[in-house]
Structure 1
């Protein structure tokens, strides 16, 4: 099973630039074209939050138009830049979409790997939260299929990255998530967005990884007095490849056209 993870496209209204600098719409369109051209064709695309930049209706209208070009089934969760009800309207009719409340759901009919989406966003806030209710819901959902390979998708990562201007906006009470996941060894990955960088660590007895953005990269500044900054680096995605006997292998994939292929390996 092949699962693409795209994150943080920060779609803007037509003609508007992200932060007045970057054509995030063009970059997301290029990411969609890249996914459509993959061979073999992926089974699923995960969109791990911050689909738009300001939660505006015009941004969601543009997002809906852009997603029409995607030829692979999609699962999505909101991020801190999303507006939950506008998000819900874009995906109306999708069988995985809850009618109300957090965008929490589980999908197990797309292939070998079950996807569990955990909406940790808080309205009007940039940090996330694993509430006691969310942890209990996740525990129950994971217990329902204890032997099924599973990925948990969320937006804000529940750990300190070491980037001082990002860590105040992490997902709080991550110990609740770690405690739940530790009881369910079928969880192959926890996948997040939000930080516009690829990171990985051990968490709750499994592997947690964050996806790069299709738009910009948050600067990797680890000094405690570092000032916020971003770079226009090559956009990228993650490709999660499940194989029986191997398990889940995660690839970092730059998006774009590069020299090659050359006849050597």
Structure 2
């Protein structure tokens, strides 16, 4: 089982660039082409939030167009830049029918055979921070109690402080309650998160929580307590999570063409 994770695509329409600089649509197009060329091919793609930049229907329509070359199951997670109802209505149809089967929150379970995928909604409308309220945590507790298969949880906001102060200020309320719940369910193999536009890992609640780089811009790595809120155009990326021999093994991938591969002793691979 191979899971591709793409995060924080921030799609704009009409040729607009995020923050006046980042061609998010063009960069996602390149990322999709990279994922489509993978061998072995992923079994599914999880997109962990901030799918578009302003939550507008036309942005979601362009997102759907950009993702179309991926002939794979796509599972979407809402982020703080997303708008739940626009997401539901713009991405209707068989490929995204699970979006219409949730309640107030975009939360759902997916049977992947050897694994389960649980998608959590951490969105607080019109705010950058995240939240896991009692209702959302109760849903997660019920899903974990009903099946003890190895489980991957996908959510937008990471449940841990990263040391990047301006992003930690937009962190996740309810993280302590989440950690307590996870300690009671050792089948949770990983929490796959977005929001940080970087690859970061942290032990959390008896498991591992990780964030995924963006195929667009990355949050600047600045660990000063008063570091400004800046982004950088470091190489775009995504992640692959391989369920292999009873473990989830993760790889961070860089989008683009680079010299090689070369054999260590002779010729090309």
Instruction: Flag whether TM exceeds 0.5 (same fold).
Output: yes
* 1:238 matches 2:210: no
Aligned-partner Cα distance in 1 for 2:87–2:215:
19
Q: Name 2:255's counterpart in structure 1.
A: 255
Q: Is the 8 A contact 1:12 1:52 kept in 2?
A: yes
SS of aligned partner of 1:41:
coil
1:17-37 Cα deviation digits (max 9, x unpaired): 111111110110111111111
- Give the count of matched residue pairs: 262
Cα displacement (A) at 1:90:
3.2
Gaps of 5+ in 2: none
CA offset digits 1:221-264 (Å, max 9, x no partner): 1111111111101101110000134x100111111111101012
Look up the match of 2:105.
Answer: 102
Q: 1:134 to 1:100 in 2, by over 3 A?
A: closer
2:203 match: secondary structure: strand
For residue 100 of structure 1, report the CA deviation from its aligned partner.
Answer: 3.5
Moved over 6 A (4+): none
Change (3 A) 1:65 1:219: same
Cα deviation, residue 99, structure 1:
4.5
Secondary structure class of the residue paired with 1:189? strand
Distance 2:22 2:229 in 1: 17
User: What residue is the counterpart of 1:184 in the other structure?
Assistant: 185
Which residue in the other structure is 1:56 paired with?
A: 56
Q: 1:106-159 deviations in whole A, cap 9, x for unaligned? A: 001x3422100000101111101111111111011011111x111000001111
**2:176 is the alignment partner of 1:154:** no
Using the size of structure 2 for normalisation, the TM-score is 0.94
* 2:60 and 2:91 in contact (8 A); partners too: no
2:119 aligned with 1:117: yes
Deviation of 1:95 after TM superposition, in Å, equals 3.9
CA distance in 1, matches of 2:105, 2:114: 25
In structure 2, the partner of 1:8 is 8
Give the structure 2 partner of residue 127 of structure 1: 129
| Counterpart Cα distance in 1 of 2:18 and 2:204 | 32
Cα contact 2:61–2:91 (8 A) shared by 1: no
Q: Is the contact between residue 14 and residue 62 of structure 1 (CA under 8 Å) also seen in structure 2?
A: no
Give the whole-Å Cα distance in 2 for the aligned partners of 1:72 and 1:57.
Answer: 23
State whether structure 2 residue 178 is matched by structure 1 residue 144: no
Does the Cα contact within 8 Å between 1:6 and 1:47 map onto a contact in 2? yes
Q: 3-state SS of the aligned residue for 1:8?
A: coil
The TM-score normalised by the length of structure 1 is 0.96
Report if the CA contact (8 A) 2:102-2:108 is conserved.
no
Q: Secondary structure at the match of 2:139?
A: helix
- The secondary structure found in structure 1 opposite 2:71 is coil
Deviation of 1:60 after TM superposition, in Å, equals 1.4
- Contact 1:152 1:189 survives alignment (8 Å): yes
SS at match of 2:14: coil
CA distance in 1, matches of 2:34, 2:19: 24
User: In 2, Cα distance between the equivalents of 1:112 and 1:28?
Assistant: 29
Alignment-derived partner of residue 264 in structure 1: 264
